């Protein structure tokens, strides 16, 4: 298998090397950090694991609950899921090396959480809205990873620097694929996008805590992009992309 071939949603080939390639024999670099910094990085890395890990939970939920429109989305959902599983594995490798917690224990901690998808059901039951929600989530994650690059580079590790850039590239490709599929399947509904994004934004910031849904996990005090930035910068950019 060639891990650096260009992306193709139909064949499922990758646009970037996978975690096993980038993080082969990875050891977290020895670097002095304060106790506060060590705790912060532990939280950042574990949050990265679970938010990526939960893509499979969302996929299974959509597959079982929305059998009417799930089949028309498989072409974009399968490559997306493959990449998100790879991201979860990569962050788990990094976290395990950072903390000294065995990889199987890290995976167990991610697995035993119980998701609740009721918050997103009003969106997920409409294939067009679902694609908009996924695009919204992926572009926000792209911005998060972009802002994380400088922090990862401070470790002076080629593997960590390559990894965060790979994750960012995958997320923006997912965004483009969801936008493309939405425009392809529902060209007559493009005018609904601003109101749909408003609905998604309201759900995102009304819920009190993250419930393992993969999407809409941005309403936390430590989230690196503010509510106002999402509303004033990211949402207009999404609308613009759909109108191109």
Angle subtended by helix axes 35-53 and 55-65, to nearest 10:
20
The reply to whether 23 falls in a domain is no
The reply to whether 196 falls in a domain is yes
The reply to whether 18 falls in a domain is no
The reply to whether 77 falls in a domain is yes
User: Taking the model in full, what pTM does it have?
Assistant: 0.92
DSSP-derived 3-state class of residue 13: strand
Q: What is the 3-state secondary structure (H, E, C) of 103-157?
A: HHHHHHHHHCCCCCCHHHHHHHCCHHHHHHHHHHHHHHHHHHHHHHHHHHHCCCC
138 and 174 Cβ atoms separated by less than 8 Å: yes
The reply to whether 17 falls in a domain is no
pLDDT at 13: 64
Supply the range of the domain harboring residue 196: 34-242
The reply to whether 8 falls in a domain is no
The reply to whether 208 falls in a domain is yes
Would you write out the chain's pLDDT as a tens digit for each of its 244 residues? 333 333 344 435 667 899 999 999 999 999 888 999 999 999 999 999 999 999 999 999 999 999 999 999 999 999 999 999 999 999 999 999 999 999 999 999 999 999 999 999 999 999 999 999 999 999 999 999 999 999 999 999 999 999 999 999 999 999 999 999 999 999 999 999 999 999 999 999 998 888 999 999 998 878 999 999 999 999 999 999 999 9
The reply to whether 113 falls in a domain is yes
Q: Supply 10's token pair.
A: 């139909």
- Counting the structural domains of the chain, the total is 1
pLDDT at 2: 34
* Per-residue CA distances from 79 to 31, 96, 190, 231 (Å): 36, 26, 24, 28
């Amino acid at each position: 298998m060639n891990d650096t071939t260009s992306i193709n949603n139909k064949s499922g080939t990758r646009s970037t090397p996978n975690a096993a390639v980038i993080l082969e024999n990875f050891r977290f670099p020895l670097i002095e950090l304060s106790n506060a910094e060590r705790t912060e990085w532990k939280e950042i890395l574990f949050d990265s694991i679970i938010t990526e890990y939960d893509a499979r939970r969302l996929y299974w939920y959509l597959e079982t609950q929305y059998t009417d429109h799930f089949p028309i989305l498989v072409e974009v959902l399968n490559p997306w899921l493959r990449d998100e599983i790879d991201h979860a594995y990569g962050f788990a490798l990094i976290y395990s090396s950072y903390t000294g917690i065995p990889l199987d224990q890290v995976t167990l901690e991610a697995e035993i959480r119980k998701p609740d998808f009721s918050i997103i059901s009003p969106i997920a039951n409409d294939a067009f809205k679902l694609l908009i929600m996924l695009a919204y989530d992926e572009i926000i994650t792209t911005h998060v990873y972009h802002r994380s690059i400088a922090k990862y580079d401070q470790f002076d590790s080629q593997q960590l620097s390559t990894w965060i850039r790979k994750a960012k590239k995958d997320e923006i490709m997912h965004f483009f694929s969801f936008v493309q599929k939405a425009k392809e399947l529902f060209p007559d509904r493009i005018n609904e996008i601003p109101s749909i994004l408003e609905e998604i934004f309201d759900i995102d910031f009304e819920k009190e805590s993250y419930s393992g849904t993969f999407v809409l996990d941005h309403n936390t005090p430590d989230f690196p992009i503010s509510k106002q930035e999402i509303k004033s910068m990211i949402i207009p950019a999404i609308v613009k992309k759909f109108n191109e």
